Amino acid sequence: MSHASSDSAIMADFLRELARLAAEQTLPRFRRALAVDNKEEGAFDPVTEADREAERVIREAIEKQFPDDGIQGEEFGQLRAEAARRWVIDPVDGTRSFICGIPLWGTLVGLLDEGEARIGLLSQPFLGEVFIADGESAFLERGDDRRPLTVSDCRSLSAARMFTTDPALWKGDEKDGFEALRQDVRLMRYGADCYAFGMLADGRADLVAESGLNSYDIMALIPIIRQAGGVIGRVDGGPAEKAGTVLAAATLELFEAARARLRGEEA
């Protein structure tokens, strides 16, 4: 086994452990009576004990294993923000789905190394699914079953299956671009949050477009898409690591066509 392969195997084992620890906090609280707090005045940004406790155990494990690395989490902020390596955590991406009992939420953990997202975890414990990008490849695990993640070969908007979380999140000029793209794709689905990116990596969707993302919403998903063979970036041409309005696609041709529509250009 090469040194790189050995490092990847070690990292994959660590991600599995993070998934297990988080699931111990989220699953017992899913589809149970649970207090919901609102983090934002004038809007609804829910958070629950599941979010906080899952992030707590993930942070503790990272601090123990990688004490010099930085940590950024949705619920508890940043630690060692100047570190070259930074773990980015969304303990429950899709809290709205979580509190409604819809199993399309997930635990996200990504590793940003010198500005590039290299390692990623998407765990959906209710479905028993763990999506991992270990730095070399991406794969999906269900129990003892493991198989590689590979995107589809879709190249045209007219054949594309597309996801976005909520069309109401697209505002202003971006809304016009989204509507143009929505009308051009074959199939449009809503409400899958992070799970849509897992479906793209697994070849079951072809496009995912999201507006207003924070770094913890996307960092774990970037390496999963890339290491499954897909393309991901900001609609304005910047790297996906900068978050914001992000597009992911199975192929470069599809990415460019969708990006042109979102920007109001000819595909």
Query: What pLDDT, on a 0 to 100 scale, did the predictor assign at position 240?
Result: 99
Q: Annotation-wise, does 116 bind a ligand?
A: no
Q: Are 196 and 165 in contact (CB under 8 A)?
A: yes
Q: Annotation-wise, does 173 bind a ligand?
A: no
Query: What pLDDT, on a 0 to 100 scale, did the predictor assign at position 2?
Result: 46
Spatial distance between the Cα atoms of 175 and 169, rounded to a whole number of angstroms: 8
Q: Annotation-wise, does 217 bind a ligand?
A: yes
pTM for the structure as a whole: 0.95
Of residues 133, 199, 134, the one with CA closest to residue 163? 199
pLDDT tens over the chain, length 267 residues: 444 556 899 999 999 999 999 999 999 999 998 899 887 766 788 899 999 999 999 999 999 999 999 999 999 988 898 999 999 999 999 999 999 999 999 999 999 999 999 999 999 999 999 999 999 999 999 999 999 999 999 999 999 999 999 999 999 989 999 999 999 999 999 999 999 999 999 999 999 999 999 999 999 999 999 999 999 999 999 999 999 999 999 999 999 999 999 999 875
Phi, psi angle pair for 33, to nearest 5°: -60, 125
Query: What pLDDT, on a 0 to 100 scale, did the predictor assign at position 3?
Result: 45
Q: Using the 8-state DSSP alphabet, how is residue 265 labeled? A: -
Q: Could you tell me which residues come within 8 angstroms of residue 240 by beta carbon, excluding any fewer than 6 positions away?
A: 117, 218, 222, 232, 233, 234, 246, 248
Spatial distance between the Cα atoms of 86 and 70, rounded to a whole number of angstroms: 4
Spatial distance between the Cα atoms of 169 and 83, rounded to a whole number of angstroms: 32
- Walk me through the domains of the chain, giving residue ranges and CATH numbers: 3-148 (3.30.540.10), 157-262 (3.40.190.80)
Spatial distance between the Cα atoms of 75 and 59, rounded to a whole number of angstroms: 11
Spatial distance between the Cα atoms of 224 and 201, rounded to a whole number of angstroms: 7
Q: Annotation-wise, does 74 bind a ligand?
A: yes
Torsion of CA 23, 136, 196, 32, to 10 degrees: 0
